[in-house]
């Protein structure tokens, strides 16, 4: 029996299988508001047969956007627009829906990736960025503003407000974005956090903001819904955030009731040296799973069904996430189920596509 296609429970949220669609920025929002593109994109992926679909990194404030095209959830207009998309998806798909909430920090105010992705000057429509300290991501970038304690309190309130909106919209899971060099990661890493107050210095201080935001979001997000965190397990830079600090952070999150940890790496520094290859991040997931005992999602160049099956079956991680791979092949879970002798959920309109050699592939619930 395929382990990849067995159910798993995150907190009280039951997933039908262990294939996760990772959050993927689309840079296609209108002043933070979801558009018809999001309906097409998410509707497409919602019929993939995966166990969970997590909506792209969604900014909790306008200045928290990576670009002007980033999705947001900070006011009634952005809530209404995303609500229209969610309602359309839920009308035709039963896949559990999650949303990743984040703030880009010093990596905000950038051009769209297909327009170069460089930081925008204020004269180009950019804005003042925020961070733990004043070190920019790139030496040529404008220095971010080191957040005051008042701004930190405002940030926490923004995450809480966005979580309440996500709950109202019907999301069954929230993922806090503490990875890829964005704001919460900037507070975690000693490479970006040079503060001398109780949010900087020792590991406990650098973890403080993420743990406080987690606690405040958990307090307002219903107990029957899941709350997890995405982290970069390593900066891949000497003297930066690393695996051992990730273990310490994950242990602290577990004590606060975190339901899962989604383990990526990198993104904090242009000096990173990443040994990219198949499964290159899986060892981090394996270490955290076995040392902390929290449900783990492994991600990164997991492209083949047998590869994903082996990760789950051997206990390296509890789930696998796909991003670029499922954009390239949006029916990846169908093909994986066919190869692994499993069943996958599909809408009845598509049942006639079942190949003759894999009869019994589809199920309707």
The tokens of 83 are what?
A: 């609500």
Q: How confident is the model at residue 363, as a pLDDT? A: 84
- At residue 359 the predicted structure's pLDDT band, cuts being 50, 70 and 90, is confident
Contacts 24+ apart (CB under 8 A), 326-330: 326/21, 326/45, 326/48, 326/50, 327/24, 330/44, 330/45, 330/48
Which is the catalytic residue, given 27, 182, 199, 260?
182
CB atoms within 10 A of CB 273: 9
Rg over alpha carbons for the chain, rounded to the nearest Å, is 20
CA-to-CA dists, residue 90 to 79, 358, 362, angstroms: 16, 28, 19
For this structure, is 182 an active site residue? yes
The 10s digit of each residue's pLDDT in 88-139 is 999 999 999 999 999 999 999 999 999 999 999 999 999 999 999 999 999 9
Q: Please tell me the predicted confidence (pLDDT) of residue 340.
A: 96
C-beta separation of 362 from 346 below 8 A: yes
pTM, entire model: 0.97
pLDDT value at position 85? 98
What distances in angstroms separate CA 296 from CA 230, 254, 292, 293, 311, one per listed residue?
10, 12, 10, 9, 11
What pLDDT is attached to residue 365?
61
Taking a C-beta distance cutoff of 8 angstroms, is the pair 24, 100 a contact? no
Structure confidence by residue, pLDDT tens digits, 39-69: 999 999 999 999 999 999 999 999 999 999 9
Rounded mean pLDDT, 193-217:
98
- Measured CA to CA, the distance from residue 143 to residue 128 in angstroms comes to 8
Band (pLDDT 50/70/90 cuts) for residue 294 is very high
Give the per-residue pLDDT at 281: 96
Tokens describing residue 91: 């009308």
């Amino acid at each position: 029996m395929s382990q990849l296609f067995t159910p798993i429970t995150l907190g009280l949220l039951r997933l039908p299988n262990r294939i996760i669609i990772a959050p993927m920025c689309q840079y296609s929002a209108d002043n933070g508001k979801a558009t018809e593109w999001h309906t097409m994109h998410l509707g497409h992926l919602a019929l993939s047969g995966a166990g969970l679909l997590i909506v792209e990194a969604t900014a909790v404030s306008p200045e928290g956007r990576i670009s002007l095209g980033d999705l947001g959830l900070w006011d009634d207009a952005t809530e209404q627009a995303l609500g229209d998309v969610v309602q359309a998806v839920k009308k035709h798909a039963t896949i559990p829906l999650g949303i990743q909430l984040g703030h880009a920090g010093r990596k905000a105010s950038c051009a769209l990736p297909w327009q170069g992705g460089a930081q925008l000057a204020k004269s180009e429509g950019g804005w003042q960025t925020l961070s733990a300290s004043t070190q920019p991501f790139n030496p040529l970038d404008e220095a971010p503003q080191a957040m005051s304690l008042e701004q930190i309190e405002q940030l926490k309130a923004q995450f809480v407000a966005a979580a309440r909106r996500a709950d109202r919209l019907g999301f069954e899971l929230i993922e806090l974005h503490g990875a890829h060099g964005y704001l919460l990661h900037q507070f975690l890493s000693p490479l970006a956090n040079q503060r001398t107050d109780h949010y900087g210095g020792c590991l406990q201080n650098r973890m403080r903001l993420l743990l406080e935001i987690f606690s405040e979001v958990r307090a307002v997000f219903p107990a029957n819904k899941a709350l997890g965190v995405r982290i970069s397990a390593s900066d891949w830079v000497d003297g930066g955030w690393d695996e051992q600090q990730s273990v310490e952070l994950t242990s602290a999150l577990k004590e606060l009731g975190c339901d899962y940890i989604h383990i990526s790496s990198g993104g904090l520094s242009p000096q990173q040296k990443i040994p990219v290859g198949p499964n290159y991040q899986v060892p981090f997931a394996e270490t955290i799973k076995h040392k902390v005992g929290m449900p783990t999602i492994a991600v990164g160049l997991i492209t083949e069904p047998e590869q994903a099956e082996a990760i789950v079956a051997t206990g390296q991680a509890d789930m696998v996430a796909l991003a670029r791979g499922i954009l390239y092949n949006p029916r990846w879970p169908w093909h994986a189920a066919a190869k692994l002798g499993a069943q996958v959920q599909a809408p009845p309109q598509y049942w006639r596509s079942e190949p003759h050699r894999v009869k019994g592939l589809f199920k309707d619930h």
